[in-house]
Amino acid sequence: MKIAFVGKGGSGKTTLSSLFIRHLAANEAHVVAVDADINQHLGAALGLDEAEAAALPAMGAHLPLIKDYLRGSNPRIASADAMIKTTPPGEGSRLLRVREDNPVYEACARTVRLDDGEIRLMATGPFTESDLGVACYHSKVGAVELCLNHLVDGEDEYVVVDMTAGSDSFASGMFTRFDMTFLVAEPTRKGVSVYRQYKEYARDFGVALKVVGNKVQGPEDVDFLRAEVGDDLLVTVGHSDWVRAMEKGRPPRFELLEADNRMSLQALQNAADDSYAHRDWERYTRQMVHFHLKNAESWGNAKTGADLAAQVDPGFVLAEAVAVPQPG
Ligand SMILES: Nc1ncnc2c1ncn2[C@@H]1O[C@H](COP(=O)(O)OP(=O)(O)OP(=O)(O)O)[C@@H](O)[C@H]1O
Ligand SMILES: [Mg+2]
């Protein structure tokens, strides 16, 4: 399943993503983690030292390879150059799986060893001030979107994306690519204002959105969040000494994380699992086509000089069965 952590800057997206990833690994799940946050800190939060984090390959720099691989022999896509971030898979496209080796992972993913197992980590690469709002930024996040749209994920497989709740993800449709979106909010007015904006976009597309209260200090904080977001509040997380120790570069073993925080992480996993159980692959495919047509019309056709609507394979539905050979 595909899971996003979004929220206001500094709310704790990266921290909670990394704790959730550690929790999944402890539960022996298969995890691909993706750092698509403006501040690229997921590697560090997963225990990489500065040199290791800096050595992570940038997905944005491998966009041509990613496009070329995913295009496969799809006759509707003339060349990798004609592929934009929303180009949907069709007959002949190559799909990605969580548990496999492929050239995309080889170029863009690194294995990270945690206390309780290994996960794969991919990163968009650092954003600079000048990236924001311009083509470069789009291509960095676009690499993630292309991969998500070509990724066939199974029940005990998790793709966890640490991401910015930016307008780019609304325009491209990236925000509809997840079975569950966890909106991390501190109990402040600014914290919940990002929730309101997200909720508005999410409503029209049936996006499953849950709020994770973070840095919650007591019942008044919980009451505030409950009053602002109602039943969308899934769990709250308090200040964690474990996190603080990790930030000092002295991470205790993950099993020593506070028990109530560990229970919150399990609640996140349960919510994601529930949501995946209702995944409607046809709707999922329909939405990627919807946003592709929208992007084609607003800039893609002009940029590539082609009618990108022709890239849509009307008979194609992304589904587990497309990529995973059924037994017997
Ligand atoms: N529950 C927590 N307990 C203790 N410290 C926390 C907790 N949540 C977040 N922090 C601390 O708050 C700071 C911001 O958290 P984090 O980097 O995860 O936020 P972010 O939303 O990813 O920020 P950015 O927008 O900069 O990427 C970090 O120093 C982190 O260690
Ligand atoms: Mg972050």
For residues 235 and 232, give the distance between their C-alpha atoms in angstroms, rounded to a whole number: 9
- Does any ligand 1 atom lie closer than 6 A to the CB of residue 19? no
- Return the pLDDT at 133: 52
Question: Residue 31: which residues within 8 A CB-CB, separation 6 or more?
Answer: 21, 24, 25, 98, 119, 120, 157, 158, 159, 160
Q: Please tell me the distance between residue 14's alpha carbon and the centre of ligand 1 in angstroms.
A: 6
**What are the tens digits of pLDDT across the range 70-101?**
999 999 999 999 999 999 999 999 999 999 99
pLDDT surpasses 80 at 245? yes
Output the CA torsion sign for 83, 86, 88, 94. Answer: positive
pLDDT, average across residues 19-37: 97
- Does any ligand 1 atom lie closer than 6 A to the CB of residue 239? yes
Tell me which residue has its CA closest to atom 11 in ligand 1.
12
- Phi, psi angles (nearest 5°) of residue 186: -80, 155
Tell me which residue has its CA closest to atom 10 in ligand 1.
12
Tell me which residue has its CA closest to atom 26 in ligand 1.
10
Q: Which two tokens mark 73?
A: 């022999």
C-alpha closest to that of 93 among 30, 147, 158: 147
For residues 274 and 20, give the distance between their C-alpha atoms in angstroms, rounded to a whole number: 16
Residue 194 half-sphere exposure, CB side, CA atoms within 13 Å? 26
Pocket test for ligand 1, best of 5, 6, 8, 14 (most atoms within 8 A of CB): 14
C-alpha closest to that of 63 among 129, 101, 108: 108
pLDDT, average across residues 202-208: 93
Q: Quick one: how far is CA 203 from the chain centroid?
A: 19
What confidence tier does 328 reach under pLDDT thresholds 50, 70, 90?
Answer: very low
**What are the tens digits of pLDDT across the range 48-76?**
999 999 999 999 889 999 999 999 999 99
Tell me if residue 161 falls in helix, strand or coil. strand
- Phi, psi angles (nearest 5°) of residue 260: -70, -35
Tell me which residue has its CA closest to atom 12 in ligand 1.
12
- Return the pLDDT at 326: 43
Within 10 angstroms of residue 129's Cβ, the number of other Cβ atoms is 6
2-322: CATH architecture: 3-Layer(aba) Sandwich (3.40)
Q: Which two tokens mark 206?
A: 């049936």
pLDDT surpasses 50 at 299? yes
**What are the tens digits of pLDDT across the range 90-145?**
999 999 999 999 999 999 999 999 998 999 999 998 766 555 554 445 567 889 99
Percent with pLDDT over 90 in the chain: 82
Domains of the chain: which residue ranges?
2-322
pTM of the shown model: 0.95
